[in-house]
Chain A
Amino acid sequence: MKPFSYERASTPAQAAAAVAARPGAKFVAGGTNLLDLMKLQIETPTHLVDVNGLQLDKIEPTAQGGLRIGALVRNTDLAADARVRRDYGVLSRALVAGASGQLRNMATTAGNLLQRTRCPYFYDTAMPCNKRVPGSGCTAIGGFSRQHAIVGVSDGCIATHPSDMAVALRALDATVQTTSATGTTRVIPIADFHRPPGSTPHIETALQPGELITSVTLPPPVGGTQIYRKVRDRASYAFALVSVAAIVQRDGTGRVAMGGVAHKPWRVEAAEVEMPRGAAAVAGRLLAGARPTHENAFKLPLAERTLAAVLEQARS
């Protein structure tokens, strides 16, 4: 690990200013992904700003009837919150499908959104990777790509976003609140938070340098049957090959987002008009234009079948 200096911030604006003022500075909250990457020198911050003291660890009702989740709420506490379990079941389910009990106790809501891909070539510093070293090339294209993305990919990157939580947040139409070094705040819809890889896969989110996530807001509950189904290589503690977050209403309408298939939680609202017609119709539009590799083409039928199983579960 490269040496770094360290400070604790006491307000969001101060934290944002501290990171904005120093090139190479980063926020640290749970640290579960950042420290792992620092040990491998994939992340090499020269300065860490610890945001754990910012008191952004509350879950509060909003005036609109939704919930505002502080950026520092731990994954365990979000999954266990009685309001989330009752009204946003897909979010509880997605959270407990991810990582291990220890990691969920440490990982934060904002950090979960900002975690990096688990592409093995991103992790292998001996290999080219456009995300790690811009312009160096992509080893996954033509390499071992079983875990990789099938939609929204570019010629420079086929990495997936590994979060389960974010897939549920996409289905729930969450928004991300931030503050900058100057104290200005803004709201980013979750749909726009993660960027397509394009020719700049190293730029992963809409955040500006030093911009700090302060909360994630859920709109008022939409009811329905809420399901998160994750298909993975072992029963627990593994990343998704394919996952489906679904909210299905009694009349068969609803929302679907997928994980494990793209650089971001993958949702196409236009595909959801097909929901009463079944999984094949929805998957056909949701995954239109897919560009799988020869190693991950299985994800196309897997995604459709997983969605079919979810819709059947919702009906029963």
Chain B
Amino acid sequence: MDSTDDITITRRNLLIAGAGATATVPLSVAAQAPAAEPAVVSRVSLEVNGTMRTLEVDTRTSLLDVLREHLHLTGTKKGCDQGQCGACTVLVNGRRTVSCLSLAVMNTGAKVTTIEGLGTPASLHPMQAAFIKHDGFQCGYCTPGQICSAVGVLDEIRRGVPSHVSADLNVQPMVSAAELRERMSGNLCRCGAYSNIVDAITEVAGARS
């Protein structure tokens, strides 16, 4: 009997203690975190879509978050935030880059081109126009990253960068469907618009050559 009471009391006390702990943890975190680990602010100057921008940012800020949250260029999308989906792809000094895995402060002096800088609704970049013509998207969330990546891919092929499916390392790579699929494997599309994306890129590549 005594032991039953003890258990009851213990359980009740445990629940009360647990509730108290639950209530106090967020408060203590909120109170202590800023004091224990103050954010460090640093200045970054970079050129975005042709305009010089200088900002004071927390050193932890990714290039992606600077583009979206500080410069309000929300065309660039945050998907996985760990470099696996490609939705945040932008061109940095002309090369396709996942902006989620680059710190803003590491991009001082860089020239960044986002989907907003490639073209405008009134004057589309050829890759944007081709994606529309070929239905290279459904929901559109991955599309800015796909288009920036595709522009980078055609430049890489033009410069002779080989890929995993290039048959011969020592000849100019082709613009084949197999090449485009391999080179675009860092851009995921959950709607599955892949075949139309390949058609769009193929058309732009053909128009250039």
Contact = CB atoms under 8 A, between A and B. Distances in A.
Interface of A: 1-6, 8, 28, 31-32, 35-36, 39, 48, 50, 52, 76, 79-80, 85-86, 89, 92-93, 96-97, 99-103, 105-106, 235-237
Interface stretch (B89-97, B113-121, B134-142): B89-97
A31 B103 contact: yes
Contacts of B58: 3
A80 B185 contact: no
Interface in B11-70: 37-40, 42, 58-60, 62
B203 interface: no
5 contacts: A4-B40, A86-B169, A96-B162, A105-B95, A105-B97
A129 to B, nearest CB: 18
Contacts of B100: 35
A101 B81 contact: no
Contacts of B152: 101-102, 105
Interface residues of B, number: 45
Contacts of B170: 85-86
Given A5-B59, A31-B101, A237-B185, A101 B82 contact: no
Contacts of B72: none
Contacts of A96: 162-164, 166
B185 A3 contact: no
Contacts of A103: 83, 98, 101, 186
A97 to B, nearest CB: 5
A1 B89 CA distance: 21
A274 to B, nearest CB: 28
Nearest to B178: A235
Given A92-B169, A106-B98, A100 B40 contact: no
- 8 A-B pairs with the lowest CB-CB distances in the bound complex, closest first: A100-B186, A236-B185, A85-B169, A237-B185, A80-B161, A6-B59, A105-B95, A1-B60
B208 interface: no
A86 B169 CA distance: 8
A35 B159 contact: no
Contact of A4 (B59, B83, B89): B59
Contacts of B86: 100, 102
Given A1-B60, A93-B169, A103-B101, 13 more contacts: A6-B59, A8-B108, A32-B83, A32-B98, A35-B62, A36-B83, A80-B160, A89-B169, A100-B86, A102-B83, A103-B186, A235-B185, A236-B164
A258 B39 CA distance: 44
Given A80-B162, A92-B169, A3 B37 contact: yes
Nearest to A79: B162
Given A39-B81, A92-B169, A237-B185, A31 B37 contact: no
